[in-house]
Amino acid sequence: MEYRNIAIIAHVDHGKTTLVDGLLKQTLKLKHGEEIAERAMDSNDLEKERGITILAKNTAVEYKGIKINIVDTPGHADFGGEVERVLGMVDGALVLVDAAEGPMPQTRFVLRKAIELGLKPIVVINKIDRQDARIEEVVNLTFDLMAELGANDDQLDFPILYAVAREGKAFKDLDNPQEDMHELFEMVLEYIPAPPVDLEAPFQMLVTNLDYSEYLGRIVLGRVQRGQVKKGEFVQLMHKDGTMTKTRVIQPFTHLGLNRIEADVVGAGDIVALAGIEDAQIGETVADLADPEALPIITVDEPTVSMTFQPNTSPFAGREGKYVTSRHLNDRLKREVMTNVSLKVEELRPDEFVVSGRGELHLSILLETMRREGYELQVGAPQVITRMVDGEKMEPIEHLVVDVPEHHSSTVIGAISSRKGQLVNMEPQGTRTRVEFKIPSRALFGFRTQFLSMTQGEGIMSHIFDGYAPWAGELKTRQNGSLVAMEAGSAFAYSIWKLQDRGSFFIVPATEVYVGMIVGENARENDMNVNVCKNKKLTNVRSSGADDALSLTPIKKLTLEDALEYIGDDELVEITPQSIRLRKKVLDPSFRK
């Protein structure tokens, strides 16, 4: 069997997962009569809700007797750990670029990795049916980006396809559009090199991903570099520390469409899954028993943001969650580290863990997943991870790209400059302006909400880790203090109404509150203790129905990300399966003074 292994690289929302849907529909329907769901590759609930890919996944299609393994990579830099290890399995990449937006920061991040690994790119200009498409310009921008990232002549001589992925079309010639994707398949077979297949050599495979099955236990995924392995055969698992464990392959699998297919034997060149290799970690080698030889270990960029995780200690602790103790938390984090390569967990005290990841989104996705599983915990404000280089304090810097309507550009530039952002590039694009900055990572905490209100929801911002630079000094990212409950009980509409001019509220009437819980944002800089549990005294003249006429300002409903962005250093977010509450670290107002 001949193989081609390709990755799909693109910025968020440029249509990667939709393109894979098209490839699957056309090959599986023709050959196996299978029906494919929309965005079939985004398998977990959070991916479906947010319309983003979080986990790198692989699928395979057959075309003209050749098996094409396709790996869908995440576009967000926060899941860069997923991207880095996946690119080692493939020989080429489909670089997907939006015909109107052009190459974006995320494209840059994954593309740099792909070019360093010497992968052959095929550029696919998607969404060419958009009214604001600027196809020729986008092709030139993509060429410039590749040249800037150090692509060699062979890589710069890339073929180009034009696509409307949503309609399942991709073709070579703009003047001769096709109704399907056969020209894309032909191009993959022509341009992407076939992997070397040596079935006689000793077996060797790098573990690049892990999965888990209730029946088979841990499943390791990766590309077989050489040789083959049979069902029931013994192999050596070569650990990162140089030790080896003899283990048995209970069941090998290959992929077709979205299914894993049981196989008796799997061999070089294919991307496969092996069940039965229990202690494997990502980056370790599964090798031949008689002649084991390790492959180079995968290295992943270091985390840039950390948070402290603790069991919930608020007065409402244990009311809503299923897993509430520090032991539950410890076990869950240990399990996460096994599959989430760019995450690090350090135990500060038996009930406090420092969890470091690639960005705020990376950590908030973990928290959202945990609360859906029934965990209850509290976390501190995100902190950047600094380094000392030659006695100088260095901090992570982001490359920020904002795309805003022209009339909002000066406000946005002013706001970003006040957060120590340095303008590096600015170009008008029709009625919009694209501005690029270098900015400390910590300056972006809490900026997204402010940015959206400044641009009335029309701005697009995306950023990517750019490296380390000297510490930029003190930064004030939050202008307002908090409104903190000083009495426990149920909140009354009357007291919220009386306090409305003091700030904006996060809670609705009848919400249960405790002393030290944050109920809103103060209009001024300092914190303010308020009593939201005070009701109006009724008299013969005043009836209880009079309260129905109170008009309350709509509340600010905080999502998990909003809550993490909002809190200060002396505050915590309490996360349970049903609620997200904000609180002070020290609940008692007299101790807080």
Structure confidence at residue 40 as a pLDDT band (50, 70, 90): very low
Under the banding of pLDDT at 50, 70 and 90, the label for residue 355 is very high
Using CB atoms within 10 Å of the CB of residue 460, give its burial: 0 to 12 exposed, 13 to 18 middle, 19+ buried: middle
pLDDT at site 106: 61
pLDDT level of residue 127 (50, 70, 90 thresholds): confident
Which residues are paired to 464 by β-bridges? 399
Highest mean pLDDT among 10-19, 150-159, 306-315, 560-569: 306-315
HSE of 129, CA atoms in CB hemisphere, 13 A: 9
d(CA 460, CA 402): 6
pLDDT of residue 47: 40
pLDDT digits (tens, 9 = 90+) for 488-509: 999 888 888 888 888 888 888 8
Range among 121-125, 219-223, 482-486, 546-550 rated most confident: 482-486
Residue 308: pLDDT band by 50, 70, 90 thresholds?
A: very high
Asked if residue 465 lies in contact with residue 301, where contact means CB atoms within 8 angstroms, the answer is yes
Residue 573 has pLDDT above 90, yes or no: yes
Q: Is 204 or 448 the better-scoring residue by pLDDT? A: 204
Q: Binding site membership: which residues?
A: 13-18, 126-129
Instruction: Please compute the mean of the pLDDT values over residues 272-285 and round it to a whole number.
Output: 82
| Average pLDDT score over the chain | 80
Instruction: Out of 268-272, 380-384, 432-436, 540-544, pick the least confident.
Output: 540-544
The pLDDT, as a whole number, for residue 339 is: 67
Q: What percent of the chain has pLDDT over 70?
A: 86
Which two three-digit tokens encode residue 589?
């107002």
534: amino acid identity, one letter: K
In 350-451 the beta strands, taken as DSSP E runs, fall at 352-357, 377-380, 383-384, 387-389, 392-405, 422-429, 432-440
Largest CA distance in the chain: 96
Q: Is the pLDDT of residue 548 over 80?
A: no
Tokens 């929309």 identify what position? Answer: 38
pLDDT digit string, tens, across residues 132-157:
778 888 888 888 888 888 888 888 88
- Side-chain half-sphere CA neighbours of 507 within 13 A: 30
Q: Which residue has the higher pLDDT, 314 or 256?
A: 314
Which residues sit in the known binding site for GTP?
13-18, 126-129
**pLDDT over 90 (residue 353):** yes
Look up residue 124 and give its two tokens: 């696919």
In which band, very low, low, confident or very high, does the pLDDT at 302 lie, cut at 50, 70 and 90?
A: confident
How far is residue 495's CA from residue 491's CA, in Å, rounded to a whole number? 8
In the 8-state DSSP scheme, what is residue 202?
A: P
Q: Which helix (H) or strand (E) holds 74?
A: none
Cβ proximity of 435 and 412 under 8 Å: yes
75 pLDDT band, cuts 50/70/90, is: very low
Per-residue pLDDT, averaged over 427-438, amounts to 82
Per-residue pLDDT tens over the stretch 49-61: 444 433 345 778 8
Q: What is the Cα 17 distance to its own chain's centre?
A: 15
**pLDDT tier, 584 (very low <50, low <70, confident <90, very high otherwise):** very high
In this prediction, residues 426-442 reach a mean pLDDT of 84
Cα–Cα distance between 169 and 101 in angstroms, integer?
A: 20
Interval 315-344 mean pLDDT:
85
Taking the C-alpha atoms of residue 587 and residue 593, their distance in angstroms, rounded to an integer, is 11
Q: List residues bridging with 61 in a β-sheet.
A: 68
Token look-up 């008689």 returns: 290
Task: List, in order of start, the domains of the chain with CATH numbers.
Answer: 2-191 (3.40.50.300), 204-288 (2.40.30.10), 305-384 (3.30.70.870), 387-470 (3.30.70.240), 482-592 (2.40.50.250)
Of these ranges, 159-173, 268-282, 305-319, the one predicted with the greatest mean pLDDT is 305-319
pLDDT over 90 (residue 192): no
Contacts for 158 with CB less than 8 Å, ≥ 6 apart: 95, 120, 121, 122, 123, 146
Nearest to 511 by CA among 555, 473, 564: 555
Q: Which pLDDT belongs to residue 517?
A: 93
With a CB cutoff of 8 Å and minimum separation 6, the contacts of 325 are 311
Q: Quote the tokens at residue 24.
A: 């699957």
